[in-house]
């Protein structure tokens, strides 16, 4: 049985005239959330209030799916209200929420996200951002078009790519995390992290044990930092994980192999919401998921197992999980290479004719080039200057680029043929009446035939 304790704080900030953020702490249902509304007049307030109210009402089951479904219900209700009420037209809201759900090996914490409010987890004094923002800036970051520093001050960092109330349906991000005593979850609107660095946030969360005090201090810092937006913070502490961490540390103490545990970059907290198909290899042993394999994931397989058996089992699972992870990574790499190879085209000779292939000259790994099309252009017709390049294979990023090249080549070939014909015609047409210079090359050519 997991026990949580939560505290919260919200403030209008230093600049705005009203607070369009909403939050909820439904202790009995272990359900917590933050919503950041937007839209003129009262729209933002209405949207965020509707989001928290409807999610609280509809997340009735202890599952991630139920939480997701509740967010979709809220989305549709906000969307319909925005369409029906002129004053509320265009309103929308972000939403982050978490709750305790039933996992295969006991309680888990499920979280969901739409928009740019965030869910963080402080574990072992390290602050990890669990959710990804649905914002323009996040997209640019992911594409490598912005650095973290540039993103933090980007003038359009409030532009969302996803929110509740904007469309009839919405895609809801979410996942589950195995809770351990001492874990501290932070839900917040962008008014916090746009004013307070994650180092500052982590330091407050480490320093102040009371969740309410920590939340208030974070809001105070955001105001001190400028308070240019509404600020809302919910801090949720795992005060009891039902003995999971006690069992885990007992196993760890008995386990010499932890010395070679994965590096600090490995995210121990992620248990995918929808497990990949590879999981079936393990006949439903969900705790063997490749991502949850280190000091947190492996133990929950059977936290109350005998210590004698723990060590061998742990090593076996770790080796197995490592192999699966390796295969997954390999699969992704091979897939990516194959994918990129299949996206390129090249032009070369196929027998005596110019042809288009899909892939790369000579192939990549075991991805052989595929013949796409053979043209009418023969090797002899190709101007000698271009021949070596085509021989080697001329590469293009797309089929249309390759086609454009072939059209150009065809034109050059035609021109070359026409040129030789007109040369012949001028040399022989001195006796004919029509001056060769006035006739276009293409029409001049046939006159020489008879």
**By the criterion CB under 5 A, which residues form the site for Mn ion?**
36, 189-191, 229
DSSP state letters, 313-358:
HHHHHHHHHHHHHHHHHHHHHHHHHHHHHHT-EEEEEETTEEEEEE
Pick between residue 160 and residue 238 the one whose CB is nearest to Mn ion.
Answer: 160
Task: Count how many Cα atoms sit within 13 Å of the Cα of residue 296 in the half-sphere of its side chain.
Answer: 20
Question: Residue 226 or 393: which CB sits closer to Mn ion?
Answer: 226
CA distance 424 to 443: 13
Q: How far is the CB of 339 from Mn ion (least distance, A)?
A: 38
Looking at the Cβ atoms of 198 and 257, the one nearer to Mn ion is 198
Burial call 276-308: b when 16+ CB within 10 Å, e when fewer: eeebeebeeebbbbbbbbbbbbbbbbbbeeeee
How near is the Cβ of 25 to Mn ion at its closest, in Å? 19
CB of 201 to Mn ion, least distance (A): 16
Which C-beta is closer to Mn ion: that of 100 or that of 163?
A: 163
Q: Looking at the DSSP assignment, which residues form a beta bridge with residue 232?
A: 10
Residue 104 CB, shortest distance to Mn ion, in Å, is 37
CA distance 262 to 249: 17
φ, ψ dihedrals at 131, nearest 5°: -95, 155
Residue length of the chain:
450
d(CA 5, CA 397): 55
Residue 205 contacts residue 122 (beta carbons within 8 Å): yes
Query: Of 232 and 287, which CB lies nearer to Mn ion in the complex structure?
Result: 232
Minimum CB separation from Mn ion for residue 85, in Å?
22
CB of 94 to Mn ion, least distance (A): 8
Cα–Cα distance for residue pair 293/286, rounded to 1 Å: 11
The nearer residue to Mn ion, 34 or 347, going by C-beta atoms, is 34
Q: How far is the CB of 188 from Mn ion (least distance, A)?
A: 10
CA angle (324 as vertex; 320, 327 as ends), nearest 5: 140
Question: Which lies closer to Mn ion via its Cβ, residue 115 or residue 268?
Answer: 115
């Amino acid at each position: 049985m997991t026990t949580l304790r939560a505290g919260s704080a919200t403030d209008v900030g230093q600049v705005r005239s009203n607070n369009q953020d909403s939050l909820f702490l439904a202790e009995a249902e272990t359900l917590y959330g933050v919503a950041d509304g937007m839209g003129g007049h009262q729209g933002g307030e209405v949207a965020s209030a509707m989001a928290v109210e409807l999610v609280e009402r509809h997340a009735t089951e202890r599952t991630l799916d139920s939480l997701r479904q509740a967010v979709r219900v809220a989305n549709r209700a906000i969307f319909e209200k925005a369409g029906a009420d002129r004053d509320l037209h265009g309103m929308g809201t972000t939403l982050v929420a978490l709750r305790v759900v039933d996992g295969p090996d006991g309680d888990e914490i499920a979280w969901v996200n739409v928009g740019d409010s965030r869910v963080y987890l402080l574990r072992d004094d390290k602050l990890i951002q669990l959710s990804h923002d649905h914002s323009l800036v996040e997209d640019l970051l992911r594409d490598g078009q912005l650095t973290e520093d540039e993103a933090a001050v980007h003038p359009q960092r409030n532009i969302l790519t996803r929110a509740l109330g904007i469309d009839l349906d919405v895609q809801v991000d979410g996942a589950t995390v195995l809770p351990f005593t001492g874990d501290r979850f932070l839900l917040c609107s962008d008014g916090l992290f746009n004013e307070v660095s994650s180092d500052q946030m982590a330091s407050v969360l480490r320093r102040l044990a009371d969740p309410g005090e920590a939340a208030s201090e974070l809001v105070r810092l955001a105001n001190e930092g400028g308070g240019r937006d509404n600020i809302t913070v919910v801090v949720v502490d795992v005060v009891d994980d039902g003995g999971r961490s006690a069992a885990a540390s007992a196993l760890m103490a008995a386990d010499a192999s932890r010395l070679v545990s994965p590096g600090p970059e490995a995210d121990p907290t992620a248990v995918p919401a929808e497990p990949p198909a590879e999981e079936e290899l393990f006949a439903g042993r969900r705790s063997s998921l490749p991502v949850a394999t280190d000091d947190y994931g492996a133990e929950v397989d059977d936290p109350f197992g005998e210590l004698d058996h723990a060590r061998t089992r742990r090593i076996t699972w770790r080796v197995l999980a490592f192999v699966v992870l390796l295969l997954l990574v390999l699969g992704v790499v091979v897939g990516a290479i194959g994918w990129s190879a299949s996206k390129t085209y090249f032009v070369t000779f196929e027998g005596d004719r110019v042809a288009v292939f899909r892939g790369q000259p000579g192939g990549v790994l075991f991805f052989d080039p595929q013949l796409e099309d053979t043209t009418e252009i023969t090797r002899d017709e190709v101007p000698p200057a271009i021949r070596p390049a085509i021989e080697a294979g001329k590469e293009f990023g797309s089929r249309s680029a390759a086609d454009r090249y072939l059209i150009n080549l065809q034109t050059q070939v035609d021109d070359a043929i026409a040129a030789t014909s007109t040369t012949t015609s001028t040399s022989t047409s001195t006796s004919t009446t029509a001056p060769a210079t006035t006739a276009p090359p293409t029409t001049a050519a046939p006159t020489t035939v008879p």
